[in-house]
């Protein structure tokens, strides 16, 4: 067979070899070409750039100098802390909201399927639209929330949520949870619906309370899904750029500046591609670290690898 020794097809019948070779090429050439062009080359290129000072014009090799410079500044650690805070709260709250609602919809309540359809709305709206809506709701002058807060006497003055130090992060988190809460909801609901209802019936007959049934039946079935949500959603929120950029640009006073926001600022506002790619490099290594945990814990690739 003319196909390389390492590649053997399950469909091989020892004939139509040219067709097999062509098919093999047609399957893998686009994949490898594409991965090389948009993943491998850019990542290696970025890692290379991160070793230079002003790498675009008059590059000067500084080795790990950019990394050392970043890790030595206090602001880097505060940006990292902002990223972790944002990722933690958005993930935790999405999980709580998603779990609560999945448990509700899983009960046979009237309008449950309508509720399920509604849950997909925030998820479908593009991020920009989500931010427009929340900027309007939370606006200091005409915002509907402030209108009620003032009318009910809860605050003396309207709050500019996205631009006060105390409220900027919570406001971004609320907008994010509004959009991404349904992610947890749909995954958890799918798991809940796979649980055999006989288990609950038996528990009820044995006199178990709702809480006991949840602890001993529901939760064990959901544990895997919850871990995946915490890990994957956490990674995605840590990496999130658009929501924060569109709502606060990282302000006020860098209160919501996360690592992705800072990478963008370094590259396009300060035109410092050396530091920007070094910070991107740090994010890359952090992700790789978490990915190792993810693959160890779940070996998700075993689903397709055999």
Q: Closest separation between CB of residue 184 and another protein, Å?
A: 9
The yes or no reply on residue 289 touching another protein (CB under 8 A) is: no
52 phi and psi angles, rounded to 5 deg: -120, 150
Output the six-digit token pair for 131: 């931010």
Collapsing DSSP states into helix, strand and coil, what is residue 91?
helix
Pick from 37, 36, 54: nearest CA to 278: 54
Find the shortest distance in angstroms from Cβ 64 to another protein: 18
- 101 sits near another protein (criterion: CB under 8 A): yes
Nearer to another protein (CB atom), residue 38 or residue 253:
38
Q: How far apart are the C-alpha atoms of 257 and 259, rounded to whole Å?
A: 7
Q: In this chain, which of 78, 88, 92, 100 binds another protein, going by CB under 8 A?
A: 100
Q: Which helix (H) or strand (E) holds 60?
A: strand 60-61
Q: Which of 2, 154, 207, 211 binds another protein (CB under 8 A)?
A: 207
Which one of 99, 169, 173, 187 is in contact with another protein (CB under 8 A)? 187
Closest to another protein by CB, 7 vs 64, is 7
Nearer to another protein, 102 or 169 (CB): 102
Indicate whether 154 belongs to the interface with another protein (CB under 8 A): no
Residues 25-54 that bind another protein (CB under 8 A): 26-28, 30-31, 34-35, 37-39, 41-43, 45-46, 49
Residue closest to 138 by CA, chosen among 186, 175, 90: 175
Task: Provide CB contacts within 8 A for 228, sequence distance 6+.
Answer: 187, 298
Residue in 63, 142, 157, 197 binding another protein, rule: CB under 8 A: 142
Tokens matching residue 70: 């970043």
User: Of the ranges 65-73, 159-167, 214-222, 288-296, which one interacts with another protein (CB under 8 A)?
Assistant: 288-296
Distance CA 159, CA 149 (A): 9
């Amino acid at each position: 067979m003319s196909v390389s020794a390492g590649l053997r097809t399950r469909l091989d019948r020892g004939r139509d070899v040219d067709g097999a070779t062509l098919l093999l090429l047609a399957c893998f050439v686009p994949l490898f070409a594409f991965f090389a062009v948009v993943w491998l080359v850019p990542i290696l290129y970025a890692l290379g750039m991160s070793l230079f000072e002003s790498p675009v014009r008059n590059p000067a090799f500084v080795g790990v100098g950019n990394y050392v410079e970043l890790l030595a500044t206090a602001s880097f650690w505060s940006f990292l802390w902002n990223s972790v805070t944002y990722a933690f709260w958005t993930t935790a709250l999405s999980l709580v909201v998603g779990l609560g609602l999945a448990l509700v919809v899983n009960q046979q309540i009237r309008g449950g399927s309508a509720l399920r359809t509604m849950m997909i709305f925030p998820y479908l709206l593009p991020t920009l639209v989500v931010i427009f809506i929340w900027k309007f709701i939370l606006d200091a002058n005409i915002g509907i929330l402030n209108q009620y807060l003032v009318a009910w006497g809860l605050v003396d003055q309207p709050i500019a949520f996205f631009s006060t130090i105390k409220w900027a992060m919570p406001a971004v988190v609320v907008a994010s949870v509004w959009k991404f809460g349904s992610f947890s909801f749909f995954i958890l609901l799918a798991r809940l619906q796979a649980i055999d209802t006989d288990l609950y019936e038996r528990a009820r007959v044995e006199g178990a309370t709702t809480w006991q049934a949840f602890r001993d039946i529901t939760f064990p079935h959901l544990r895997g899904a919850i871990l995946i949500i915490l890990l994957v959603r956490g990674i995605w929120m840590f990496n999130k750029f658009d929501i924060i950029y569109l709502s606060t640009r990282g302000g006020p006073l860098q209160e919501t500046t996360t690592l992705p926001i800072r990478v963008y600022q370094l590259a396009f506002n300060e035109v410092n591609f050396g530091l920007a790619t070094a910070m991107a490099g740090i994010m890359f290594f952090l992700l790789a670290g978490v990915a190792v945990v993810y693959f160890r814990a779940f070996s998700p690739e075993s689903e397709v690898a055999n």
